[in-house]
Amino acid sequence: MELRDFFSEDAIELELKGTSKDDVLKELIALLKLDEKSEGMLFKMLKRRENLGSTGIGRGIAIPHCRSLVVSKLRVAFGRKREGLDFKAIDDKPVNFFFLIVAPPLEVSNQYLPVLGKIAQFSKEADVPERLLAIGSPAEFMALLEEKHV
Amino acid sequence: MANFFQQVVAGLGSGAIYASLALALVLILFDAGLNTPIQSLRKYIVPASVLATLGVVGTALLVASAAHAVGFPWTFALVLGAVVSPTDAAAVFAVLRNSGIHLKRRVGLTLEAESGLNDPMAVILTTVLTTNLLMPGTMNGWTVSAEVVVHIAVGAAFGAGIGFGGLWILKKVRLAAGGLYVALMISFALLSFGAPTVLGGSGFLSVYLSAVILGDGELPYRTGLLRVHDALAWLAQIAMFLLLGLLVSPSRMLDVALPGLILAIFVTFIARPLIAALSLFPFRYPAKDVAYIGWVGLRGAVPIVLATFVILSRASGSEKIFDLVFFIVVVNALVPGMTVRWVTRKLGLESDDPPMPRAVLEIESLQPLGETLTSFYIDEDLDLAGVSIEEIPFPESAGATLIVRGNNLIPPKPSATLAVGDHLYVFSKPEDLPFIQLMFGRPEEK
């Protein structure tokens, strides 16, 4: 299973505009191109997960995630906000990079937790925040995943 | 029998009684400091500090004004105000714990932080104002303020020094037996009290601060140490109340019943709610939080101990202060105290935090450990129900160590599955905790 197989260039936004946690979550959800009702449901699910503890894991990275009926297969998106945003991250520092993961409640291939683990593992690499800040296009983001063999 | 005990107390002399009460208060404050969850409190430390400093001064001044209005001289009224100014969150939490209610974090932690921080402030004010009562006219507003600043500065410096120095010693020294660490910790507590007191600082502030620093650091044999200090604090409270009971004469209570009742009602219905509202105004707490904090600012044992210090100073009218304080504390404990449960529910301040696990897993070690054991509540919104342990992508050095499900302990074999309501214990290196929290959310408080 390769992480890059789950990303598509149209679900990558390198200039997020939101100025609050809710704004950014909505922008990330919009990248999945769902209908309005599904977007609302997904936003509520993500907020419920954030209420159990921020998914901001430090080093400027957050991985909001949940299971929801609004998707029929595992979907991921990536967003970047250069100037950072207060996401109540574990290290209390602003978050610049957002990986969104949404999986259906029942998955035959059971990819949700492995994908979460892969993104977490990718985020741990020392140069990742710096490299993510430097990328200039969705294609470069995909190339970085390929380079890191994730 | 009471007469016999009173004779024993008289035989002990005021010095021994003072030393006993001070020791009791040192052990209680040291235990409170060790258990202060500084990381959780960080968010509420500023509002709690305002309540514990300006709030204490404001309460003292308001109560003093009321006492003066009912006929007591200013020197007397100010001491009375200072003595009844500190709140005791332990009283609130005891009521809530017994009724099985969890308070919302913001309110609970603000009350907890305030009560930890305001005792030293009240002790300083009482000490300074009692000196003024003994030698009226020797102090004015400026000298009182200067005394308070010196007490705080010296106390804080010694508290920080002994706290960090103690942590350094605990890190470097390896003692042969676990019990010796208890002796070492008690010596830190006594040194924290004695050294600044000799040099004109607040020993009580120093004790609390050093304990907060020690409690926040890496302690060898931590669980055992905390348990011993908890037991010592309880023993100190029992001894303290025994001594206090011997100092109360019910026949004298009648003399102060009317002013005592007026002042108790004033503290409960006017002074505390007003001070809470003013102190919390800049922090934009919701109105119901402010109302709750204002209502349940219960007075506990500390005002009675402070009143005893005033008696031991043999200042004129000190017995009356003791009787008034005793009256105020009892009325305050009865009126808001008995309504704590009802008010919590009425204001909707019950927390929906998960219940505590029925069994707690801890690691005991004489050496500071590099790894941690953390517990997580498996909430429905984590979407982990039915997931087996082997499916969870734990970091290399981390792993599940125990599942607590109701009254059952389940070994976390690879095939074991999680259920909503489980408490999962995870062993990990501190640097892996963010990734573990990503899967399991915020860790449970210990």
- DSSP-assigned letters across all residues of B123-174: HHHHHHHHHHHHSTTS--HHHHHHHHHHHHHHHHHHHHHHHHHHHHHHHH--
Domain contains B354: no
Residue where one domain finishes, among candidates B329, B346, B363: B346
Using the beta-carbon criterion (under 8 Å), do B387 and A55 form an inter-chain contact?
no
Percentage with pLDDT > 70 across chain B: 92
Please say if A65 is a catalytic residue.
Answer: yes
Report the residue of A1, A41, A52 to disrupt the B interface, i.e. the one with the largest count of B CBs within 10 Å. Answer: A52
Chain A interface includes B383 (CB < 8 A): yes
H or E segment at B109?
helix B105-134
State the Cα–Cα distance between residues B196 and B192, nearest whole angstrom: 7
Comparing B173 with B290, the larger pLDDT belongs to B290
Quote the pLDDT of residue A89: 94
Same structural domain, B95 and B46: yes
What is the band of B7 on the pLDDT scale with cuts at 50, 70, 90?
low
Quote the pLDDT of residue B12: 61
Domain contains B336: yes
State the Cα–Cα distance between residues B104 and B106, nearest whole angstrom: 6
Task: Search chain B and give the residue with CA nearest A120.
Answer: B435
Quote the pLDDT of residue B354: 75
Quote the pLDDT of residue B13: 65
Query: What average pLDDT is seen over chain A?
Result: 94
**For every residue of B35-90, which 3-state class applies, written as one string?**
CCCHHHHHHHHHHHHHHHCHHHHHHHHHHHHHHHHCCCCHHHHHHHHHHCCCCCHH
State the Cα–Cα distance between residues B97 and B297, nearest whole angstrom: 17
Q: Which residues of B120-139 are buried (b: 16+ CB within 10 A; e: fewer)?
A: bbbbbbbbbbbbbbbeeeeb
Quote the pLDDT of residue B1: 45
Token pair, residue A97, equals: 């990079």
Same structural domain, B90 and B179: yes
- Looking at residue B374, the DSSP 8-state letter turns out to be E
**Strand-by-strand arrangement of the B423-428 sheet:** B372-377, B423-428, B399-405, B408-410
Same structural domain, B250 and B386: no
| SS3 of residue A59 by DSSP | coil
pLDDT at B97 over 80: no
Tell me the CATH number at A67: 3.40.930.10
pLDDT at B111 over 70: yes
Task: Search chain A and give the residue with CA nearest B389.
Answer: A113
Domain contains B176: yes
Quote the pLDDT of residue B175: 84
Contacts of A145 (CB under 8 A, 6+ apart): A2, A3, A4, A7, A122
Chain A interface includes B352 (CB < 8 A): no
CB B354 within 8 A of CB B110: no
User: Letter for the amino acid at B277?
Assistant: A
Tell me the CATH number at B329: 1.20.1530.20
Across residues B115-141, what is the average pLDDT? 78
**Tally of domains within chain A:** 1
Exposed, middle or buried, B239 (CB in 10 Å: 0-12/13-18/19+)?
middle
State the Cα–Cα distance between residues A106 and A109, nearest whole angstrom: 9
Using the beta-carbon criterion (under 8 Å), do B442 and A114 form an inter-chain contact?
no
Cite the DSSP H helix spans in B250-395: 250-266, 272-280, 287-295, 301-312, 318-346
pLDDT at B241 over 80: no
Across residues B258-266, what is the average pLDDT? 93
Domain contains B291: yes
* Locus of tokens 């650091």: B217
pLDDT tens, A130-142?
999 999 999 999 9
The total number of residues shown for chain A amounts to 150
**Chain A, chain B: beta-carbon pairs less than 8 Å apart:** 49
Same structural domain, B314 and B434: no
State the Cα–Cα distance between residues A67 and A103, nearest whole angstrom: 5
pLDDT tens, B269-284?
999 999 999 999 999 9
Query: What average pLDDT is seen over chain B?
Result: 86
The total number of residues shown for chain B amounts to 446
Using the beta-carbon criterion (under 8 Å), do A66 and B434 form an inter-chain contact?
no
What is the band of B176 on the pLDDT scale with cuts at 50, 70, 90?
confident
Tell me the CATH number at B425: 3.30.70.1450
Comparing B407 with B364, the larger pLDDT belongs to B407
- B63-69 long-range contacts (CB < 8 A, ≥24 apart) are B63/B263, B63/B266, B63/B267, B63/B271, B66/B262, B66/B263, B66/B266, B66/B270, B66/B271, B67/B259, B67/B263, B67/B324
Task: Search chain B and give the residue with CA nearest A122.
Answer: B435
Same structural domain, B123 and B253: yes
Domain contains B359: no
pLDDT tens, B389-415?
999 999 988 999 999 999 999 999 999
Same structural domain, B242 and B340: yes
Same structural domain, B97 and B138: yes
End-to-end Cα, chain A, rounded Å: 8
User: Letter for the amino acid at B183?
Assistant: A
Q: What is the dihedral of CA B93, B95, B98, B103, to 10 degrees?
A: -50
Exposed, middle or buried, B323 (CB in 10 Å: 0-12/13-18/19+)?
buried
Chain A interface includes B391 (CB < 8 A): yes
Same structural domain, B332 and B382: no
Same structural domain, B298 and B424: no
Chain A interface includes B49 (CB < 8 A): no
Q: Which residue range(s) make up the domain with B178?
A: 2-346
What is the band of B22 on the pLDDT scale with cuts at 50, 70, 90?
confident
* Locus of tokens 């449960």: B341
| Residues of chain B with C-beta less than 8 angstroms from the C-beta of A66 | 381, 383
Q: Which residue range(s) make up the domain with A8?
A: 3-148
State the Cα–Cα distance between residues B397 and A1, nearest whole angstrom: 22
Chain B interface includes A45 (CB < 8 A): yes
Token pair, residue B202, equals: 């607040």
Report the residue of A74, A113, A122 to disrupt the B interface, i.e. the one with the largest count of B CBs within 10 Å. Answer: A113
State the Cα–Cα distance between residues B194 and B275, nearest whole angstrom: 33
Domain contains B282: yes
Question: Which of A65, A75, A81, A118 is labelled catalytic?
Answer: A65
State the Cα–Cα distance between residues B151 and B166, nearest whole angstrom: 22
ipTM score: 0.92
| Residues of chain B with C-beta less than 8 angstroms from the C-beta of A48 | 381
Chain A interface includes B385 (CB < 8 A): no
Chain B interface includes A109 (CB < 8 A): no
State the Cα–Cα distance between residues B294 and B277, nearest whole angstrom: 7
| Residues of chain A with C-beta less than 8 angstroms from the C-beta of B434 | 57-58, 90-91
| Residues of chain A with C-beta less than 8 angstroms from the C-beta of B437 | 53, 57, 90
**Tally of domains within chain B:** 2
CB B203 within 8 A of CB B391: no
What is the band of B2 on the pLDDT scale with cuts at 50, 70, 90?
very low
Nearest C-alpha of chain A: how many angstroms from B393?
A: 5
Domain contains B168: yes
* Locus of tokens 């390896």: B174
Domain contains B366: no
Chain B interface includes A90 (CB < 8 A): yes
| Residues of chain B with C-beta less than 8 angstroms from the C-beta of A52 | 379, 381-382, 441-442
Q: What are phi and psi of A71, to 5 degrees?
A: -120, 150
User: Letter for the amino acid at B368?
Assistant: P
Same structural domain, B311 and B390: no
What pLDDT tens digit does each residue of chain A (150 aa) get? 788 899 999 999 999 999 999 999 999 999 999 999 999 999 999 999 999 999 999 999 999 999 999 999 999 999 999 999 999 999 999 999 999 999 999 887 789 999 999 999 999 999 999 999 999 999 999 999 999 888
Same structural domain, B11 and B125: yes
Q: What are phi and psi of B378, to 5 degrees?
A: -85, 95
Task: Search chain A and give the residue with CA nearest B432.
Answer: A124
Beta strand pairing call for B408-410 and B399-405 = antiparallel
Torsion sign over Cα B342, B345, B349, B352? positive
* Locus of tokens 């990819």: A111
**Does this model's pTM top 0.80?**
no
Contacts of B343 (CB under 8 A, 6+ apart): B292, B295, B296, B336
